[in-house]
Structure 1
Amino acid sequence: MNALLVDDDYFVVTALEKKIDWQSLHIEEVYTANNVAQAREIIRNHPVHILISDIDMPQGSGLELLAWIREENYNIQAIFLTNYADFNYAQKAIELQSFEYFLKPIEFDKLMLIIQKAVARAKEQQKNEKAIQEGYFWQKIKRKYASISGENWSTGASRSL
């Protein structure tokens, strides 16, 4: 699992990097970005499973970033950290299927629990995607084998008796 921290405040990013026990959360790599453009570049070039982002930033919002993530079909669990208890922000975050909306100041104990739940959901999502992929490949192999052997696996009948 990998995480991406996005905040225009360098000190917030640094505090998150240092005060969260990423290893205990099974997060292998923690990427950082100070704006939406940097975050998009990281997401394009690295697997990211957990996003922790500010909402209000000078060069684009965390909500715009999550909208782009959803449009591009990245499976990322998004946690918003914000100073704004604004209902419109929270409503938009829900519409974009964010995992959590968390108000600053950051309570690291609570944030750790939220990240832990997001990691569990990301793992479940990966497991489901793998099962779908394996089902697809199994069907493909069945069709290939059936065409080679002359068997119809759906009925159990054989063409070459």
Structure 2
Amino acid sequence: MSGHSPELRRPMLVLAAIVLGLSACGTTTTDDPNVLDEADLTGGEGREIADDDVTPLDGEKIVDPDAPATTVAIEGTAGELLPEIGIDMSRLSSEIAAEGDEDETIARIEGAWAAIRSEIEADRPELLNGIQATVDMARTAVDANRPADADKAFSLLTDLIDQFTGDG
């Protein structure tokens, strides 16, 4: 290459680098027993696990018995759903303390709140942040396993519901 012009040397160097780089991309084999090759993955030990799997099937789909049931969209007005949220929130503390169905209860609370949030925002914006705070506090109570926080959220929500209905 030393006899070639500089204009030809550069492309030849690039070509040489590409060829060397491609030659490094060949099939690599290893004697390491901890590394599985393609044959091991498609017909070796991994296949035995699938053959012994006893996961129940529904048609051709794997069924998870612990999966939550399909939910139906929550519908209703704020006047209808706020009291329901209050009822659910009143149960939350004891469910958390007694290892009850707090996950289902908080899901209903959050679902009902999501269904009426825009109505509250439009019609009673002064209550929006307060109700949101109680729902957030209830979620934290469930996640952190703190029944006292659920009681506090319920107490605050009760006052907000009273303000909404005109009872307070």
Per the normalisation by structure 1, the TM-score is: 0.29
State the structure with more CA Rg. Answer: 2
Which structure's residues are more often strand, by fraction?
Answer: 1
